[in-house]
Amino acid sequence: MSGNWKVTLPCTRAEAEAIDAGDGPALDPMPTLVTTEEVLDDAEQWRLDAYFDREPDAAAIAAIAALAPATAARPTVERLPDEDWVTMSQAGLAPLHVGRFFVHTGDAAVPKGAHGLHIAAGRAFGTGHHETTSGCLAALDGMAQAGRRFDRVIDIGTGTGLLAFAASHLWPDAAIVATDIDAVAIDVTRENATANGVDGLHLIVADGTLDDAVTAAAPYDLVIANILAGPLVSMAPELAAIAAPGATILLAGLLEVQRDAVEAAYTACGCTPLTTDRRNDWSVLTLRAGAERFVPAGPFDPKGRDGWALDI
């Protein structure tokens, strides 16, 4: 039966973090997985919702249940009304104030002195509420507060465009490229850019840097990638190759337990880790590219991109 369906079951925070890190089922089509903290600061009281665009069969339900082995509860399955469940899942999120940015999904009064960014609940994730995205906003704001200036910026895996918009506000004269592997995300970014009065972004549908338009605009003096640990490691040579000598590289979407592997991948490409912003179990990394532009030893290998996620 067609339509929107949801499978729900309790999970733990550890299980939720594993899911957020890309440890999902091998299903086709892949459902959208959303984890929610049910009770504040209670590691045992989380919830997993899996959204399907068709009625899930027994094998799909079992695959979702396997993501939360700690629970004895049976998954609940329900058909949703013919409405936009992504919008519903994001609607009502409290506004987020990070540095000089005030991010909101609906009508909200922007505090005096803050820069409002309206990211409508909709077809792509990336409202700034996850630790990885709020950490990137804080890092970008901190760079500007410290007097850093950038002329060429790229946001890899832009999602809703939020980080690209923030960079555009902080460095209005910079040439900014925003990419995503998902064409829908680029459409959403374009819509959000119009809604926020952001002009001049170069939007590209691309798998990492594997597009001539991405490399033609290189080198970049600020490279942003808020995705997942697997793709970050896979793309280390690519991101290092498009970075200008001494460029700043901002990485997020990784758990603290994955930080060593991510840092090692970039260190091998001549980058130097500078700072780590630990936010609960997530980490936001700032690195500096090598003094000379990195030249990869061979062609890029897209292996490892499984589990690519939109901006969270």
Q: Which residues are annotated as a binding site?
A: 133, 157, 180, 226
Amino acid, res. 260:
D
Element (H, E) at 246: strand 243-255
CB 26 within 8 A of CB 67: no
Tokens 């009304």 -> residue: 81
Amino acid (1-letter code) at residue 169: H
Say how far apart CA 221 and CA 206 lie, in whole Å.
20
| Strand bridging mode 115-118 / 101-104 | parallel
How far apart are the C-alpha atoms of 138 and 127, rounded to whole Å? Answer: 14
Residues tagged in the binding site annotation for S-adenosyl-L-methionine: 133, 157, 180, 226
Closest CA to 235 of 271, 273, 187: 271
Interhelix angle 162-170/183-195, rounded to 10 degrees, is 40
Q: Which residues contact 59 (CB under 8 A, 6 or more apart)?
A: none
Contact 278, 237 (CB under 8 A): no
The answer to whether the beta carbons of residues 118 and 187 sit under 8 Å apart is no
Tokens describing residue 17: 């973090």
